[in-house]
Structure 1
Amino acid sequence: HITILTAAAYYRPVQKNEKPPFTFGYSTGEYFRVTGEILSVLGGLYFFFRGIQYFVQRRPSLRTLIVDGYSEVLFFVHSLLLLSSVVLYFCGQELYVASMVFSLALGWTNMLYYTRGFQQMGIYSVMIAKMILRDLCRFMFVYLVFLLGFSTAVVTLIEDDNEGQDTNISDYARCCQVKRGRTSYNSLYYTCLELFKFTIGMGDLEFTEKLQVQVCVCH
C-alpha cells in the first residue's frame, strides 16, 4: 500500500494554470498512475473501516487508546488524510497535495508497527512510541508556547507599513509575496516560521533593524 501510494504521489499530475481534477491523458503511464491511485484509495478505505471497527468493538478509554491503541490511531489518521486528499482533489482544491503529503509521511512512519514482531527491531519501535508519547509531546507543547509567545512579541515590536500590500489576501499568500520581496514581520504566521528557523540554526537577525524599541534586542 505505502509503496503504491508513494509512486502515485511522486507521479501526480502537475499542470500549471489548471486546477484539479486534471484531464486524463490516454497513455500507458496515465493508466498505471490512475490504477495506483485507485489501489491507494482502496487501501485508505481499508484502514478507515478497520479503525472504525476497532473503536466500535473495543470502545477503549482515552488512557487505553493513548497507551495501547496509538498504532490504530495513527493508521486511522493516515486513512483520514488520504481520503480527505481525494475529496479535496475532486472539489478543485490544491490543498489536496498537503493532505496527501502528510498522509504519505505518516504512512511511512506506520511501517515501524510491522517491526514489532522482530526481536532486534521490535524494541526500537516500542522505545520510539514511548518517547513520542511521553517526552516529545511535553517538549513540543512547551516549545509551541514559547514560539507563540516570542512571535507575538516580535510582531508587536516590528512597525512595518502595509503600503502596496493587498489586505484581503491570506497570511500564507502574503508570506509567499514577502519572500519574493523584502522581509516583513507584520504577519504572525511568517514570524513563527522565521523563529522556527532560528531554532534549527537557519535564521538571521535582519528584523532587528526595524525595531523602534532597541533596548529589547539582546546583544
Structure 2
Amino acid sequence: MPRLRQVSRAAADAKVVQRTYDLLFGDRDPVAEPGTTTGTRGDWWTVFALVPDILEHANRGFALYRSPERKLDPVLRELAQTRVGWAKGSQFVFSQHCKSLRGLGVSEDRIAAVPHWQVADCYSQDERAVLAYADCLALQGGRTPEPVFAALKAFLSDEQILELTYIACLYDMHAVMSRALRTEWDDRDDPIVEVAAPEDFNGRDFLDIGRRPE
C-alpha cells in the first residue's frame, strides 16, 4: 500500500478528483475497488487526490505532453520517458511507458532494449542521441557533454529539445515521487539489505582479512 492515505470516492469533494475518478474508474470507489485498465491498482490517483490542485497540475502535465501542439516525435518522447523510468528505478514509470511505446507501434526488441540501449543495435542514431540525453538528465543531474547536445541539435529544433527536456524531467519527478510514496508498481521493499552472516561468523575474522602477516 502507498505510504500516504488514499481519498475514497465519498470523500472526494473537489470536481477535479470526481472527474478523474469517473474517467479512470467509472462509478467505482477506487479505494474499495482498486484497479485500472493497465493493470495498476490506481493508487497514484487516489494519493494525489489528497491535494486536488496538485492532481489538477499533474493532469495538465499529462495533457501537455500528449497535446497535438507538440513538435517532438512521440516515439522519441516515449523512449526518453521509458529510459528515465528505468534509470530512476521506477517500475511504475518504466512499465507504463513500455506500454505507451507498444501503443505507438514500437517493436518488442526496441522496447526490451531500453535498459541496455548502449549496446543495442536496434536504435537509429537519432534515437540513441535521445536515450543518451535522457541519461544525462536522469543520471547526471542535467550534466550534458557538448557532443550529446550537438547530436540532438543535428536533427531536433530548439523547440523540440525544450519539449524533450521538459517532458523527460517531468517524468524524472514522477518516478522519484512514485518510489518515495510507494505508489503502484513502486510499492516494493528496497532490495539492498544486509545479508546475514553464518551463525559461526566471527567479526574479528572479517577485520583480519587482508591484514599483512607478521
TM-score, normalised to structure 2, is: 0.31
Higher share of residues assigned helix: 1
Q: TM-score scaled to structure 1, two decimals? A: 0.31
